Amino acid sequence: MLFCALAGVRLLQIVNRFQERIQMKRIDLQSCLDELLVCASFKDYCPNGLQVEGRDPIQRILCGVTASLALIEEAIKCEADAIVVHHGWFWRGDDPCVTGTRKARLAKLLAHDINLFAYHLPLDAHPVYGNNVQLAKVLGWQPTGPARQEPLLMLGRVEHPIGAGEVARSVAARLAREPLLVGDASRKVSTVAWCTGGGQGFFEQAIDAGADLFLSGEVSEKTVHLARESGVPFIAAGHHATERYGIQALAGFLAEKGLEAAFLDLDNPV
């Protein structure tokens, strides 16, 4: 039986390579992912790991960037036992009342007995499956390692020194999304720094580390001034667009374990 047939949406990768599929106890899957991503070493804005308990054991897993209602509905169509995402629920500062859209999402998940696993900062920083490392592969950048004392800020180099405008055009082609370039488009870029998603707060640390250019997912008003005044160009390439690749790689890891795992990319323009 095929993993699923999703008419009208983009199932970018069915990653299972096994004729014989396995099942895994929920607690074993949780331990496997928690240990792989070293969850205990992170202070995060949300719980990492199992967020909503569903049926046991688990064989079929749908992976996506965010635990949206749309992803849950596709998991139901697929008869998935679990959803694994980067952006889960129960964020610090959220209204704890289960009403409105929160109630609709949770009700669907519970009604169909589907497990929800989420990994936020641990997936950003992982040296193999992390968003930062996987984005570098897509962009053709060579990581030299995380910044000193900050595992979420990645440093690296482009293959050949090129102008910041050329970097932006390459990013647009590889991510299939037009980024926003702020600053001097003609500045020659050899060293780069980046943090996917909402990592623009590391811009000053990237400048201090000697980066010629910094890339993140989002941009705010104050970041524009910092790029102009520091002379270091800033690229906002999209929160969703820069964070598709870690969870996609994690789907591949789960498939290598023998589970039936697929990554689904639901369009998000942000």
Q: What is the CATH number of domain 131-237?
A: 3.40.1390.30
- pLDDT higher than threshold 70 for residue 250: yes
- Indicate the pTM of the whole model: 0.93
Tens digit of pLDDT for each residue in 122-178?
Answer: 999 999 999 999 999 999 999 999 999 899 999 999 999 999 999 999 999 999 999
Q: What is the pLDDT of residue 20?
A: 63
Asked if residues 257 and 24 have their Cβ atoms less than 8 Å apart, the reply is yes
Sequential DSSP letters for 156-214: EEEEEEEEHHHHHHHHHHHHTSPPEEES-TT-EEEEEEEETTTGGGGHHHHHHTT-SEE
CATH 3.40.1390.30 residue ranges for the chain? 13-118+243-263, 131-237
CATH entry 3.20.20.70 includes domain 13-118+243-263 = no
